[in-house]
Structure 1
Amino acid sequence: MIDLDRVENVLVRAPNWLGDVVMATPALRTLRSRCPNARIVVWVRAGLEPVLAGSLDIDEVRTLPKGDAPWRELSRSVRQVHKAGPYDLGLCLPDSFSSAILMRFAGGRPLVGYANAARKLLLDHPVPVEVSGAEGRRAPREDRIQGLLTSLGMPSHDFAPRLETTTVEEEKVEDLLGGKGHRETWIGLAPGAAYGPSKCWPADRYAALGDALANQGARIFILGAPGERDLCSAVSQQMTLPCMDLSGQLDLGAFKALIRRLDLMICNDSGARHLAVGLQVPALVFFGPTDVWRTRRNLENVSVLEKKEVSCRPCYKRNCPTDHRCLLDLTVAQALEEARARLATGWSDPKGLYEEAE
């Protein structure tokens, strides 16, 4: 068993997807609570480091080049992380074989992670993969990440993601909006999904929903990454009422700061959904090819729209090979009704998790 009282430096290999990084924040909070004096370094894929900006639960963020980066860049990142050591504990949150290899090269030892197939040979503390439910489905992502810490003697029942924003991030949004006050209802529409088009509710329906909400006095923001500009433009151009298309104009940090100002985020099952939850913003989320079960925690303030009676879902395919009925069967009227209900309810905090922040 690892002596946690003697741990001074921890290296955490963060997940590769934005939403999964958000869902790792409860575990980082648990780690900080149990090892309050340790230096906690998080190794995250380049571009995702703003997700953790402002967090008091970590001390340093190191970036890992994206998967298609040249080996030279990857090797340089490994050397830099290794040089920042030595480490007394390594937590490998992704389940891949390659992530465990990189952690060993970087000096994250003893290395803790889930024992998938031959990968367990790379781990000093392999943790058996657990399933949840009668069908043997995986436990929610937050539970899986927390499970690694529980195996080390750090149990926790706190699964609520929590994100912070920095002064710089807030100032970027203030400059962009020209200091405009927040008097009306602010709603964000994020029609994209990095995973692929199979997750996306149609652009024309986002536009129709945006018009219906704007007609009731809401201010509509169209939000998306630089690669989603065309999709966001399709939404804004089909709207007949004014909206503000900010696609590609915000870096991830400023994106967080804007979401924090919203009264409602409407999006697909994508990173925007998790950012909203982490920033305590109510959300309306369209689920198509994915399974709510895997991310079923922290849904108290999320209205889920899904078509359950579709035999081919969940398929987890990036492109729909058939008729995309899992999302096409979700109507604008249904979405408008759910949006009105969520706006009327606002943010619910039944467990008092965010009283301190307020």
Structure 2
Amino acid sequence: MELIIDLRKKSVVILIQIIGFSLSLCNEAILEKLVLILARLFLLFPSNRKRILLSNLKHAFPDWDSHKIKKTALISMARTLEMGFFSLIYPFMSRDRKKKSVLIDQSVERKLNELRDSPKGVLFLLPHVALFEVLAISPYFRPHKKRKLGAIFRPNKNHEIDKWIDRSRTSNGLKTFSRKEGLLRAKTFLKDGNWLVLLFDQNAGDRGVLDLFLGRLVSYTPLPNSLQKATKASPVFILPQRIGFFKTKLLLSSLSNKIHGGCAADAHLKLEETIRSHADGFPEWLWCHGKWKIHSRVESRYRMIVKRKHLISKKKIARKTHFFVRMPNWLGDVIMAVPVLKAIRKGRPDVKFTLVCESQFIPLLKKFSMGEDYISLPEHSILYYFKFKKLLPVKPENYLLFTNSLRGDLEAFLSGSTQRFGMEKEDHIRPLLTHRFKPSQIDGIDIENLHQTELLEEMAKYFGLQEKVSRDCFCLPKKKMKFNKIGIVPGSSNTPEKRWSLENWVSLIQEFSAFNKSITFHLYGTEEDQEITSYISSQFQSDCVFNMAGKTNLSQLTDELYTCSLVIGNDTGSIHLANMIGTPVVVLFGPTNSTKTKPFFNSSCTMIHSNDDDINEIEIGDILSRVNCTNLGLQLQKNIR
């Protein structure tokens, strides 16, 4: 088997050599047209490389229209293919053709001569541009006096191809070092006064230095800094800028090792300046590589794990990486998901969160700045998913679902995200998710005795969350509690069995009023609850009971609940909302499991349970005896017993 694999690898090398030799015989004008045709073909079909290319350009230049993005993408892809053609052809180039590949003007020649005359080694930091390989073959870019030119490269996965590439480079007098095995030898080589070229702008993953590049977080290699520090070599930014097909002009500029982040950071600053100053975004740079692909592993998606951070504290990390979050369909579930979402936002300050939810939740979520963008779900119809697809502004890098429904899973699938996270319980298989948190398979998780927020927290931890989920209440500015104002939430949109009877609510209001006629009662709910609230309010004078059901959006309801001395209600969303903003609540539980769905935040919460699943087993006296009126801003004329 190994013999067959070796033969295949060698056959690939032979085929590459034949293609390279054949292309070397072609006129460069024909080759230039060929790479443009291939670039157009590449952009016609979906691929991961195309997605990265377009995504990188859109993030770097948010003000560009789609036409300009596509134009630069086409040029950049053509330059990338030109790089590939050059790598295939240069082993078969004549010496005269190699000389013509690099133009060196007088100012650059003077700078090179200064570096040649210096006894110090020189560390050239080279960005990934289309024709970076010209430095390996140009006879004009070489040191003098028996000093040598070397370069550090990442080895190819195919060892036979790697050997052929290495032979092509060394045949031109270049000393090569592998990133995997040759770093110590490269350091000695540089310390001996030689020249060393290093591609500095590759994604370094978890081992790199965390910094900003074009406004987004990147992880770059600290190798330039460690090499320069160990060898005292002169750091230089080098750029073979393309001026024609297979032709470049050499640009040099000195780098500082004294700025924050060292010469590696300075090289990135110079590259960023080059990109921003170019009318088309410097398309010869390899826009199709994953420069910004950091914190993308499933097990660490919701945290930043790079060990080295050179970010200056004054730099504000912009939220530019797109994540979508599908919020639940019921208010109480939304409130119980908010603490987890808040922790994820803290763990990923570089992410722009788009919240996908029912339209009525958007004012509330905006009020507490839970997202940067919002998508209001369309009305239910036969064209629902078609309309949803049209609402999507971008293809998100990650899609988190707090829902447990096929509808939400289909929405996530239509988004095109390659990471779709959610919870899969034993009785509900979710094949449209790419990654699943399965609580039944994790030791220590008892779904029936774990609060819903804590269960969502476990899911977020499974996907990398390290930030603590806080129980602290949300504060509203410039709002004050009103004495003797009681909020009543008599409805329950999703489960009628959770409702205390209308007669009980009427009697409760009567009991409170008997002790202090200045207490006002405000009935809250949705439009669907108006029949309930209208009946209750009709039993009293209008100056003490106010029917607010259906008259507020959730943002206005939040303000209303915040000013209440106390809110009493069934196990429903408004109670969770009042608890979230710190208003004391009394919540009546019937058939629901209070362990899983009780109010989560650190605020006064009195829970009253029925003896069985019938909520009407709860008596008025059970409530009156549990209310601490003095602490709640309720002024009573005699004690409640």
Measured against the shorter chain, the TM-score band is 0.7 to 0.9
Residue 328 of structure 1 corresponds to which residue in structure 2?
A: 616
Residue 539 of structure 2 corresponds to which residue in structure 1?
A: 238
Task: Write out per-residue CA displacement over residues 100-150 of structure 1, whole angstroms, 9 at most, x where no aligned residue.
Answer: 121011233311111346744322221112489897616211012222220
Aligned-residue sequence identity (percent) comes to 18
Match of 2:325 among 3, 12, 15: 12
Distance in structure 2 (CA, Å) of the matches to 1:16 and 1:57: 16
Distance in structure 2 (CA, Å) of the matches to 1:23 and 1:60: 20
Give how far 1:222 is off. Answer: 1.5
Please, which runs of 5 or more residues in structure 1 have no aligned partner?
A: 171-180, 314-325, 348-358
Residues 582 and 603, structure 2, Cα contact 8 Å, conserved in 1: no
Residue 260 to residue 221, structure 1, CA distance change in 2 (3 Å): same
Residue 353 of structure 2 corresponds to which residue in structure 1?
A: 40
Residues 482 and 565, structure 2, Cα contact 8 Å, conserved in 1: no
Residue 368 of structure 2 corresponds to which residue in structure 1?
A: 55
**How does 1:195-206 map onto structure 2 within 5 Å?**
195-206=494-505
Residue 94 of structure 1 corresponds to which residue in structure 2?
A: 403
Residue 352 of structure 1 corresponds to which residue in structure 2?
A: none
Residues 188 and 262, structure 1, Cα contact 8 Å, conserved in 2: yes
Distance in structure 2 (CA, Å) of the matches to 1:259 and 1:40: 27
Residue 609 of structure 2 corresponds to which residue in structure 1?
A: 306
Match of 2:513 among 214, 223, 236: 214
Q: Is the partner of 2:586 in helix, strand or coil?
A: strand
Residue 42 to residue 222, structure 1, CA distance change in 2 (3 Å): same
Match of 1:269 among 556, 561, 571: 571
Give how far 1:278 is off. Answer: 1.2
Residue 344 of structure 1 corresponds to which residue in structure 2?
A: 630
Give how far 1:238 is off. Answer: 2.1
Q: Which amino acid aligns with 2:511?
A: A
Residue 111 to residue 291, structure 1, CA distance change in 2 (3 Å): same
Distance in structure 1 (CA, Å) of the matches to 2:532 and 2:447: 37
Give how far 1:22 is off. Answer: 0.8
Task: Say how many residue pairs are matched.
Answer: 314
Give how far 1:304 is off. Answer: 0.9
Distance in structure 1 (CA, Å) of the matches to 2:509 and 2:528: 21
Give how far 1:183 is off. Answer: 5.2
Task: Write out per-residue CA displacement over residues 297-340 of structure 1, whole angstroms, 9 at most, x where no aligned residue.
Answer: 447521111123x2xx3xxxxxxxxxxxx22221112212223x
Residues 54 and 165, structure 1, Cα contact 8 Å, conserved in 2: no
Q: Which amino acid aligns with 1:149?
A: A
Residue 334 to residue 133, structure 1, CA distance change in 2 (3 Å): farther
Residue 102 to residue 136, structure 1, CA distance change in 2 (3 Å): closer
Residue 321 of structure 1 corresponds to which residue in structure 2?
A: none
Q: Is the partner of 2:621 in helix, strand or coil?
A: helix
Q: Answer with 1 or 2: which has the greater Rg.
A: 2
Give how far 1:200 is off. Answer: 0.8
1:254 equivalenced with 2:556 (yes/no): yes
Distance in structure 2 (CA, Å) of the matches to 1:271 and 1:332: 22
Residue 212 to residue 73, structure 1, CA distance change in 2 (3 Å): same
Residue 22 of structure 1 corresponds to which residue in structure 2?
A: 335
**How does 1:113-132 map onto structure 2 within 5 Å?**
113-116=422-425, 119-130=429-440
Match of 2:525 among 224, 229, 241: 224
Distance in structure 1 (CA, Å) of the matches to 2:537 and 2:443: 42
**How does 1:141-156 map onto structure 2 within 5 Å?**
141-156=452-467
Distance in structure 1 (CA, Å) of the matches to 2:575 and 2:329: 16
Higher relative contact order structure (alpha carbons within 8 Å, sequence separation ≥ 6): 1
Residues 19 and 274, structure 1, Cα contact 8 Å, conserved in 2: yes
**How does 1:118-197 map onto structure 2 within 5 Å?**
119-130=429-440, 137=448, 139-160=450-471, 162-163=473-474, 184-197=483-496
Give how far 1:87 is off. Answer: 1.2
Distance in structure 2 (CA, Å) of the matches to 1:219 and 1:190: 14
Distance in structure 2 (CA, Å) of the matches to 1:24 and 1:135: 19
Give how far 1:285 is off. Answer: 0.8
Residues 277 and 283, structure 1, Cα contact 8 Å, conserved in 2: yes
Residues 21 and 51, structure 1, Cα contact 8 Å, conserved in 2: no
Q: Is the partner of 2:414 in helix, strand or coil?
A: helix
Residue 239 to residue 108, structure 1, CA distance change in 2 (3 Å): farther
Give how far 1:60 is off. Answer: 1.3
Distance in structure 2 (CA, Å) of the matches to 1:136 and 1:153: 20
Residues 273 and 285, structure 1, Cα contact 8 Å, conserved in 2: yes
Distance in structure 1 (CA, Å) of the matches to 2:452 and 2:326: 15
Residues 533 and 549, structure 2, Cα contact 8 Å, conserved in 1: yes
Distance in structure 2 (CA, Å) of the matches to 1:106 and 1:12: 11
Q: Which amino acid aligns with 1:288?
A: G
Residue 421 of structure 2 corresponds to which residue in structure 1?
A: 112
Q: Is the partner of 1:142 in helix, strand or coil?
A: helix
Distance in structure 2 (CA, Å) of the matches to 1:233 and 1:73: 34
Residue 261 to residue 212, structure 1, CA distance change in 2 (3 Å): same
